Amino acid sequence: MTTATSDAAPRQKLRDDDPEANLRLNPVKVAIGILGMVVIAWALGNMFLAFGYYPEKFGSKLVIGVLAVIGGVGGAAALFYFLNMFVEGLPRRLSEGFIPYAFVLPGLALVTLMLIYPTFQTVNYSFANSDSTAYIGFANYRTIFADNAFWTSIGNNVLWLLIVPAIVVALGVVVAVLADKLSATGEKVAKSLIFLPMAISFVGASAIWGLIYAYNNPGQSQTGLLNAIVVGLGGQPQTWLAISTAKLNSILLMVILIWLQVGFGMVLLSSAIKGVPEDTIEAARIDGASELQIFWKVIVPQIRGTVITVFVTVFILVLKVFDIVYVTTNGSYGSDVIANLFFNKLFAASEAGQATAIVVVLLVAVIPLIWFQIKHFKDEEAG
């Protein structure tokens, strides 16, 4: 071994020279590692508590923000540094076995605390009373199942799930295919404009669409675009979001979500369509296939995976749709959905038992999706 390489890799050299070192504990490293982790955790905890209880001592919120970023990011980095030092200080065989857990467990612990533990706790609370202090058996389930509002919400959710993901995928494919036929600049501009709503919050989008669905009394000039068009064509202005006939109001709210999500579908589908090998299309064209036949018989089978991905992602989003309904109708006029019903039970009515029972219903609805995701992942790993 030359000196140059041994300089570059002193640790390796140490191991080569002294095989016993691998087996020994390095108490200094272990001690510094543990001490470092404790000090960092203590300091961060206190800093964040100080932000919470004495915000005025920091002058402005910007100072807090900057300190939080430095503390949060630097703290997390330092925590991993000392954790790594601790593990490296252990005898080598132990350390090799430990290090993967040192990397995985901090993240996994947070997921466990924020999602896995609450899942079980929510199921637990759904059998308890309104402030989770005593068990009351299935009473919450009996209450919500006997409530018409619950079944209306379920019906609306089903309608949202049937309509929104399908239309997002269909429009996404149409936009992706047509944009592909534009010039490079045209494609870029058109896609950016359609993608843009993805940056807008559900609340912001509801405010934006409020200007379209707005209603003024007949005779006044209409400030809502939809009513202006209707009146312009000789019709009567309508209070759009109050019309539950044929679920019109729910459908108009779905339009908002579709407007937000088509860009997401388009981006994924467009990249899938661009990935379809040109020669398969060329071959079909030589065989005399029409453009429509090429689309259905050649392109669609090859982008099937992406279509499913977009569909499932939007499906999951729709299942939890809340903000749009909450800020527009808050569930009145027969437009309620499960997530909004849940929020009102939890927040407005303080019925924790019934609220958690509603979440359990939602949870049961996603079980097939969990199964699907895992199967999909296993297929992908195997393929």
Partner 1 sequence: MARSLMKDGRPRSPFSIVTMVVLALLWTIPTVGLLITSFRSRDDAATSGWWTALFNPLGTQWTTSNYQGVWSGQDFGSAFLNSIVIAVPATIIPIMFAAFAAYAFTFMNFPLKELFFLLIIAVLVVPIQVAFQPMLNFLGPRGLGISGQYMAVWLLHTGFGMPLCIYMLRNYMSTLPRTIIESAKIDGCSHYQTFWRLVAPMSMPAIAAFATLQFLWVWNDLLIAKLFLKSDNATVIVALQKLLGTQGQGQELLTAGAFISIIVPMIVFFSLQRFMVRGMTSGAVKG
Please report, as residue ranges, which positions from 131 to 190 form the binding site for partner 1 (by CB under 8 A): 132, 174-175, 178-179, 181-184, 186, 189-190
Classify burial at 325, counting beta carbons within 10 Å of its beta carbon; exposed 0-12, middle 13-18, buried 19 or more: buried
Select the residue interacting with partner 1 from 108, 170, 283, 349 (CB under 8 A): 108
Q: Which of residues 255-314 bind partner 1 (CB under 8 A)?
A: 259, 262-263, 267-268, 271, 305, 309, 312-313
Radius of gyration over alpha carbons of the chain, in Å? 29
Residue closer to partner 1 by CB (options 168, 355) is 355
Select the residue interacting with partner 1 from 86, 125, 127, 160 (CB under 8 A): 125
# chain residues binding partner 1, by CB under 8 A: 120
Exposure pattern of 36-67 as b/e (b: 16+ CB <10 Å)?
Answer: bbeebeeebeebbeebeeeeeebeeeeebeee
363 touches partner 1 (CB under 8 A): yes
- List, in sequence order, every residue forming a beta bridge with 135; answer none if it has no partner: 128
Query: Per-residue x/- marks for partner 1, 309-348, CB under 8 A?
Result: x--xx--x--xx-xx--xx-----------x--xx--xx-
Residue closer to partner 1 by CB (options 156, 356) is 356
369 touches partner 1 (CB under 8 A): yes
Would you say 321 and 261 are in contact if contact means Cβ atoms under 8 Å apart?
no
Distance separating alpha carbons of residues 305 and 302, to the nearest angstrom: 8
Residue closer to partner 1 by CB (options 152, 322) is 322
Residue 11 DSSP class: H
**CA–CA distance from 67 to each of 51, 80, 98, 346 (Å)?**
9, 19, 32, 34
Q: Which of residues 80-99 bind partner 1 (CB under 8 A)?
A: 80-81, 84, 88, 97, 99
356 touches partner 1 (CB under 8 A): yes
39 touches partner 1 (CB under 8 A): no
Residue closer to partner 1 by CB (options 245, 380) is 380
Q: Where does this chain touch partner 1 (CB under 8 A) — which range of 24-32, 139-147, 210-218, 293-301? A: 210-218
Select the residue interacting with partner 1 from 1, 2, 4, 11 (CB under 8 A): 11
Helices 248-274 and 304-319: crossing angle, nearest 10°?
Answer: 150
Q: The tokens of 113 are what?
A: 């605390």
Select the residue interacting with partner 1 from 118, 143, 230, 289 (CB under 8 A): 118
Q: The tokens of 276 are what?
A: 């379809």
Q: Which of residues 17-36 bind partner 1 (CB under 8 A)?
A: none
Select the residue interacting with partner 1 from 26, 157, 222, 329 (CB under 8 A): 222
> How far out from the chain centre does Cα 75 lie?
26
Residue closer to partner 1 by CB (options 168, 319) is 319
Residue closer to partner 1 by CB (options 115, 245) is 115
Helices 184-195 and 248-274: crossing angle, nearest 10°?
Answer: 140
Nearest-approach distance from CB 257 to partner 1, in angstroms = 13
Q: Which of 7, 78, 94 is nearest to 41 (CA)?
A: 78
Distance separating alpha carbons of residues 351 and 329, to the nearest angstrom: 21
